[in-house]
Structure 1
Amino acid sequence: MKQQEATYVDLRQIPTEQLLSSPAVKAAAEALRDGERVVFPTETVYGLGADARSEDAVRAIYIAKGRPSDNPLIVHFAAQEQVERMFRHLSSPARQLMNRFWPGPLTLILPNEGHFASSVTAGLPTVAVRVPRHPVATALLQTAGIPIAAPSANRSGRPSPTLAEHAWRDLSDRVSYILDGGATNMGLESTVLDLSLEKPTILRPGSITYEMLVQQLGEVDQVMLDSPTPDTPRAPGMKYRHYAPKADLWLIMGDEEKTRLQIQEQVSKEMAKGKRVGILTTEEYKDQYQATMVVACGFRKHPQSVAQHLYQSLHQFDQAEIELIYSETFPLKDSFVAVMNRLVKAAGGKIIEV
């Protein structure tokens, strides 16, 4: 699927009110209408977009990413009104959540009413939709005037991109445009909530937390970290190893002080064998470690800062050619639920309990 190198467009200094008239945004929107692929920023991670109505365009997303065809995609819209016009049978909870959290990092799984290419839904009777909150994404979607299917803009299984340069390294020869809108705000993918089940169920945690959804709906279920892997995933990120750096990643779980001692012990042992070893920690403890590379991903006292910097930290290890990573872990509350979901997936379940 290789093509000539993508056109890189730096939109970081363009005022929001000028994005709709930007020649680059217009050209990228035209490329989408023509069935091509465009990388664009959202508030969560960078997305790899194509026309959600075109079977050929959607299949090209799977090929570009090397993504399994049974892993459904999320369809992005410029505004809530577009979703309401397209879906004629929206439930009261769906409308309530749209009004409260859109535009924003919440994906809703709704009954599929047949508007999209079958590859978008991976053969499921449901479809995942959201309205992103990012000025470049909004301008692109509004200018294109079509629903855009967009998974994260990385090779399948790798850490998601939170900077345009991350997407460039993975996909520059597989897309037509890469739009640079700067670092993403949230850093982790959207919360995915399935409204097609008897009880609303969180299939992928994100910055819209369980507590926030319970406040709106009353009762909400959630798929837990140790839940069995489904044969047929109902949402992105459920079945396959995701978010993984090139190095083997091990999570050290338990009492914080014992965890730090165990990490340093493991690192020292592996470095004595000549390995390049990294440690993933937070700003509070980064000076307590010695390793080939120590990366602090935010502040433990500010969970959202950890979420925002997690993928960027994993990309740093890749760039430094680290061979083995040991990571601290976090309590299962607030934004840390989403962080731990991504870390467990990235580690392929490799956990040492102390």
Structure 2
Amino acid sequence: METKIFKSDQINQAAALLRQGELIAFPTETVYGLGADALLPQSVEQVFTVKGRPSDNPLIVHVVDFPMTKEFVENYHPLTEKIVKNFWPGPLTLIFSIKPGSLSPVVTGGLSTAAFRMPDNEMTLALIEKTGAPLVGPSANTSGKPSPTTALHVYHDLKGKIAGILDDGATQIGVESTVLDLSGEVPTILRPGAVTKEKLEEVLGIEIPLDKHLVKESETPKSPGMKYKHYSPDTPVLMIRPADWNNALDWAKSNEKKVGLLATPKVAKRYESADRFVFDEDTIEAATRGLFSGLRALDEGHKVDVIFAEVFPEDHLGLAYMNRLKKAAAQNYFAEK
């Protein structure tokens, strides 16, 4: 299969392919998604096949506006209107209880709930509108690997497997959306993202718990991204605490390990001997934006034995960064033997 690259003036062509049951990757402000018409179960099944994704892993349904959810949702949490007004379009996914039979079990993972998001990307909103149906959109990569933040990343993983990619350059945020469960009485974060716990609590005026439960392979997750290990390159990743950089690099040298460094400019300039992917700035925003790109670059281009990754405090956006990094590293920090 030829995988075509579509630009903004070719959205009609991409939408036509989606209506025919083909798969089209699309850009969002977070990462690129692998799109299929959410109302065509056979197309959705192909998403799992192409990604190599476990079929019990539910998919996020991308909508053009909030009214599009009403065909599927059985009842809304009382805070829904306030949340949507403040955070849609944007990097916030909402989980609702749905009407029986309104969505195929292949979309929901067999659950009685489904996840919905209105992405903050004009090209993709136009794509959904012209398709005339909501789109499922898990990250457009091989399952378990670092998520794609450019069309080139998608092409690398899925060339020849999907009909096309709608290209809108690099994504702005770099990690997947926050997932907020609104199917129970208490809104609960299942996956942290750019819409932080602090932002939600400020707007809603209530405490928002964070579900830190890590789902084992035998369990069905309620949200994508809840697995213990995820986003992992082939190269082993170790998280490096601030006080451990010298010891970690000494350990690598004594064990003849070629190191790939994933760090801010402030840290990277101290260790110029290693192969490096340096974030644009010394900020958590730059680190989050560059995390997946950096993991991919060091894994695919540098032939390193181990990737040393800088850690950040686990608050605000740092919670989303560390959530992804911990899973990429299978929870492993550097520790001297």
Q: Which category of TM-score, normalised to the shorter sequence, fits these structures?
A: over 0.9
| Mapped contact 2:109–2:220 kept (Cα < 8 A) | no
1:125-147 C-alpha deviation (Å, 9 max, x unpaired): 10000000012111111111101
Residue in structure 2 matched with residue 216 of structure 1 by the alignment: 203
Residue in structure 2 matched with residue 338 of structure 1 by the alignment: 320
Q: Is 1:108 aligned with 2:94?
A: yes
Residue in structure 1 matched with residue 2 of structure 2 by the alignment: 5
| Mapped contact 2:30–2:175 kept (Cα < 8 A) | yes
**Amino acid corresponding to residue 293 of structure 2 in structure 1:** Q
**Amino acid corresponding to residue 131 of structure 2 in structure 1:** A
Q: Is 1:72 aligned with 2:53?
A: no
Aligned residues with identical type, % of pairs: 39
RMSD of Structure 2 on Structure 1 (CA):
1.6
Q: Is 1:319 aligned with 2:304?
A: no
- Aligned residue among 278, 291, 294 for 1:310: 291
TM superposition shift of 1:351 = 1.6
Residue in structure 2 matched with residue 45 of structure 1 by the alignment: 31
- Aligned residue among 167, 171, 179 for 1:184: 171
**Amino acid corresponding to residue 189 of structure 1 in structure 2:** E
| Mapped contact 2:151–2:165 kept (Cα < 8 A) | yes
C-alpha distance in structure 2 between counterparts of 1:329 and 1:304, whole Å: 13
Residue in structure 2 matched with residue 280 of structure 1 by the alignment: 262
1:1-36 C-alpha deviation (Å, 9 max, x unpaired): xxx121112x3xxxxxxx4xx3x2111101111111
TM superposition shift of 1:242 = 1.3
Q: Is 1:260 aligned with 2:242?
A: no
Q: Secondary structure in 2 aligned to 1:260?
A: helix
Query: For structure 1, which segment, 305-314 or 344-353, has the greater mean C-alpha deviation from structure 2 after superposition?
Result: 344-353
| Mapped contact 1:41–1:179 kept (Cα < 8 A) | yes
Q: Is 1:236 aligned with 2:236?
A: no
C-alpha distance in structure 2 between counterparts of 1:88 and 1:69, whole Å: 24
- Aligned residue among 127, 139, 142 for 1:152: 139
1:18-59 C-alpha deviation (Å, 9 max, x unpaired): x4xx3x211110111111100111010000000111111111
**Structure 2, gaps ≥5 residues long:** none
Aligned counterparts, 1:23-172, within 5 A: 24-84=10-70, 86-87=72-73, 89-113=75-99, 114-172=101-159
**Structure 1, gaps ≥5 residues long:** 12-18
1:210-259 C-alpha deviation (Å, 9 max, x unpaired): 001112331211023xx343522110011252111120001123xx2x22
Q: Secondary structure in 2 aligned to 1:348?
A: coil
TM superposition shift of 1:166 = 0.3
Q: Secondary structure in 2 aligned to 1:199?
A: coil
TM superposition shift of 1:197 = 2.5
**Amino acid corresponding to residue 40 of structure 1 in structure 2:** F
| Mapped contact 2:74–2:98 kept (Cα < 8 A) | no
TM-score (norm 1): 0.89
Residue in structure 1 matched with residue 191 of structure 2 by the alignment: 204
C-alpha distance in structure 1 between counterparts of 2:175 and 2:214, whole Å: 22
**Amino acid corresponding to residue 118 of structure 2 in structure 1:** V
Q: Secondary structure in 1 aligned to 2:94?
A: strand
| Mapped contact 2:214–2:227 kept (Cα < 8 A) | no
1:150-181 C-alpha deviation (Å, 9 max, x unpaired): 10000001000001000000001111011110
Large movers: runs of 4+ above 6 Å: none
| Mapped contact 1:157–1:240 kept (Cα < 8 A) | no
**Count of matched residue positions in the alignment of Structure 1 and Structure 2:** 331
| Mapped contact 1:201–1:223 kept (Cα < 8 A) | yes
C-alpha distance in structure 2 between counterparts of 1:129 and 1:121, whole Å: 11
